[in-house]
Amino acid sequence: MILEIYPENILKEALLPVEKWKPYPVWEERKRWEKIPEIYKNYYIKKAEKNSGFEWIPVRATKFMEFAKIGNRVECQKIIFKRREVLSDFVIAECLEGKGRFLNQIIDGIWAICEESTWCIPAHLGRINNWRYKELPDIDETCIDIFGSETASLLSWTKYFLENKLNEISPFIVKRIEYEIKKRFLNPLLKRNDFWWMGFSGNKILSNWNPWINSNWLISALIIEKSNRKRLESILKCVRSVDNYLNQYPEDGGCDEGPFYWNVSPGKLFIFLEILRSATENKIDIFEHPKIKEMGKFIYRVHIYKNYFVNFADSPGIVRPSPIVIFGYGKRIKDTKMQELGSYLFGINSGKISGKLNENSLTSILLLFFNFPEIQKKYSPPLIHNFWFKNIQVMIAREKEKSWRGLFLAAKGGHNEERHNHNDVGSFLIYNDGKPVIVDPGVGEYIARTFSPERYSIWTMQSSYHNLLPSVDGIGQMAGRKFKAKKVKCEKGENSIKLVMDISSAYPPEANIKRWERKIEFVYHKGIEIKDTYELVKKPRKILLPLITPCRVDIKNPDKIIFKPRIMKSGRSSGSLILKVDGKFKIRKERIYLEDPRLKMVWGDYLTRVLFLIENPEISGTLMFNFYKPEK
């Protein structure tokens, strides 16, 4: 896409030489650093002071080996990520203060990271070897993953800002940075085409790895590569790789990885395009392209309220995407709603109050400091009325535009080979007054099984833990592209929105489902109706349909189930709802006690699974579920 609009010769002419690309002030340019608001200076300087005695603890081999041996990736990653966070904070604090106080810690951090055997986290070693996990990195193999690319970018920016100050202390510090980035990152990327995420090997399912790594590749090449020829070769190649990602992205901008991964998929694409725009004096700019605009708008279209987003796929119920990326993306595509969401999230997540930024990369912090300071304006979230993502088959709707009051519905068709897929064709979620009632559990901490052939042994990935997805004699949906919704249609009316689909194809033949038509209709200011009409090949022993909720549930009256508010975590409450059912169900409930810290952070100690059982059902029939707000 990019090279179709701007062919290679135009890009080559537009690219600034290394000595002329100056996107930000270096350490010596004190006046521009002194203009940064005091709230950020105070926050980062205090944070650096707090870490003044930080010990650069090495990653022990036995700790690294824990992932391959027992599937635990968290403990090793804590050490790896903390090192980079602390180095980034020291660099920011030193540039803001300009006194040289933090240079020794910066040097120790640079050296410690350069001494690491690999910049690839343990869980990603298998991505270069057909998912055969290795206990330790193989010195004969080059591993480039998303977090290794972040390391290259962080060290590149460190060189960019502090090169002269570091050279005053020793000429071998910057030399080491350049050596390691070229050896581990830039040279292999230029030489090889077989990294799966590049898209040069026929891989049609390119995920967040592509724009994430390519954005860091672009930054590193611009800063580190002194040869204009090799610099241009690197930049052209990563642009071609990003084009592979863009060419297979759906036209409606739908991110089937979910809003959590939007932040590092289209969100990282924004970083890539912003840096490319800067490095060509704004001459290479594709933000006006319709697909680029749609990819950005996704994030506010799936926003529910506060930090709640529609969390299909590997997305937790609470998501905190980068406010500055959202705001900056919105400004570039001239979309006020996107800017409103970015500013709103910046405000509610304390950026305006404490100076603490919800950003996980130095690159996005720099965007706030020097590119988009106007994010601090106060806005309300856009809270759009409804939207239908035709390509990924996701429908969202709320009762009234710009209001969190009332019911909110999201429902999906799709297929079961989406990126970060859960077997969830036909599932839905419901919020009331901005609070969760019928939910998708989301995803727990990643373990070895998460990205392995055993992925669907994890309960959060299974259809039997997604809302009202039937199991017939214990058989649920299967993973794979062919397991999908068919005859999908979304109809919008003046007072309602309706999604109709047949989900029978999401099941294997042994489920004996001939047809399972699901109609999900939201009549605004009245309620939400789920109507299932099914036809089976033969009479089964039982059909079981689940609902997942964080609420307290009263099932004493089987004709009128009451979902009551419950405090989940940090004072957050679930919502309330009433459900009327029409069918010969035996209804019971069970608690799903949560031990996973990622799930507990959102839902508290437990979720409740309400089960609707039909014993000896007819070979065909109709089931009705009506959700509506309780009277106040």
Mean pLDDT of the chain, nearest integer? 94
pTM of the model: 0.95
For the structural domain made of 386-628, what CATH number should be given?
2.70.98.70
* Residue 164: pLDDT band with limits 50, 70, 90: very high
**Percentage of the residues of the chain whose pLDDT score is greater than 90:** 83
Report which residue type is found at 610.
Answer: V
DSSP letters, 248-272, are TS-TT---TT-HHHHTTTHHHHHHH
For residue range 554-602, what is the model confidence (pLDDT) as tens digits? 999 988 999 999 999 889 999 999 999 987 899 999 999 999 999 999 9
Containing H/E element for 522? strand 513-523
For the cut 60, the answer to whether the pLDDT of residue 624 exceeds it is yes
* Residue 358: pLDDT band with limits 50, 70, 90: low
The SS3 call for residue 496 is strand
Q: Distance between CA 277 and CA 15 in Å, rounded?
A: 9
Backbone region of residue 487 per phi and psi (left: phi > 0; alpha: psi in -120 to 50; beta: other values) = left
- Whose structure tokens read 């194809």? 505
Please compute the mean of the pLDDT values over residues 416-438 and round it to a whole number: 96
* Residue 352: pLDDT band with limits 50, 70, 90: low
pLDDT of residue 559: 87
For the cut 80, the answer to whether the pLDDT of residue 506 exceeds it is yes
Report which residue type is found at 85.
Answer: E
Answer with the residue of higher pLDDT: 138 or 204. 138
352, exposed or middle or buried, with CB in 10 Å at 0-12, 13-18, 19+?
middle
- Per-residue 3-state assignment (H helix, E strand, C coil) for 66-91: HHHHHCECHHHHHHHHHHHHHHHHHH
**Percentage of the residues of the chain whose pLDDT score is greater than 70:** 97
* Residue 200: pLDDT band with limits 50, 70, 90: very high
Domain spans of the chain? Answer: 22-198, 386-628
pLDDT of residue 216: 97
pLDDT of residue 272: 98
For residue range 205-245, what is the model confidence (pLDDT) as tens digits? 899 999 999 999 999 999 999 988 999 999 999 999 999 99
Q: Tokens at residue 400, please?
A: 């009234």
Please compute the mean of the pLDDT values over residues 500-517 and round it to a whole number: 98
Query: Per-residue b/e over 475-495, b at no fewer than 16 CB within 10 Å?
Result: bbbbbeeebbbeebebeeeee
For residue range 103-137, what is the model confidence (pLDDT) as tens digits? 999 999 999 999 999 999 888 886 654 445 578 88
| Cβ atoms within 10 Å, residue 294 | 20
